[in-house]
Amino acid sequence: MAVEKIKEVLKETDLLTHKRCLGIIEEHYFNGFDGQWICGKATAETIKNGGSDTDDISIHNITHINRKPIDLILNYPLLCGDCILNRICKRPDMICNAYGGLECINLRKD
């Protein structure tokens, strides 16, 4: 369900800010999906810092779209409290965002 919601929101060339391994922040311009993975073209700053084009951005690691917080774009902020340490939410109607803690994004339109 989370992948479908993100697919509704993302447009080609949207700027994605996201976390990578070891908490490194990178930015990529969205250019499609590879299954559940987001593909992107690296920004000049990301390349300067050792990053490259990629096809394995997890929706769970996106913090911003066009430098706006993802929870504001999806308009479903909720503190669910049902997350576990690896940030996989146990609730099917939620995705964990990349802000840390227990802040999650409610995928339902309540």
Q: What pLDDT sits at residue 54?
A: 94
> How confident is the model at residue 109, as a pLDDT?
53
Which are the contacts of 94, defined by CB distance < 8 A and separation ≥ 6? Answer: 78, 80, 82, 104, 105, 106, 107
Query: What pTM was estimated for this model as a whole?
Result: 0.67
Can you tell me whether residue 49 is helix, strand or coil?
coil
pLDDT per position as a tens digit, 53-91? 999 998 888 888 999 888 777 665 433 444 443 445 555
Domain positions in the chain are: 2-106
Residue predicted with more confidence, 10 or 93 = 10
Q: CA-CA-CA-CA torsion for 68, 51, 23, 69, nearest 10 degrees? A: 0
6 within 8 A of 61, measured Cβ to Cβ: no
For 45-59, how does the pLDDT look when each residue is reduced to its tens digit (9 = 90+)? 999 999 999 999 988
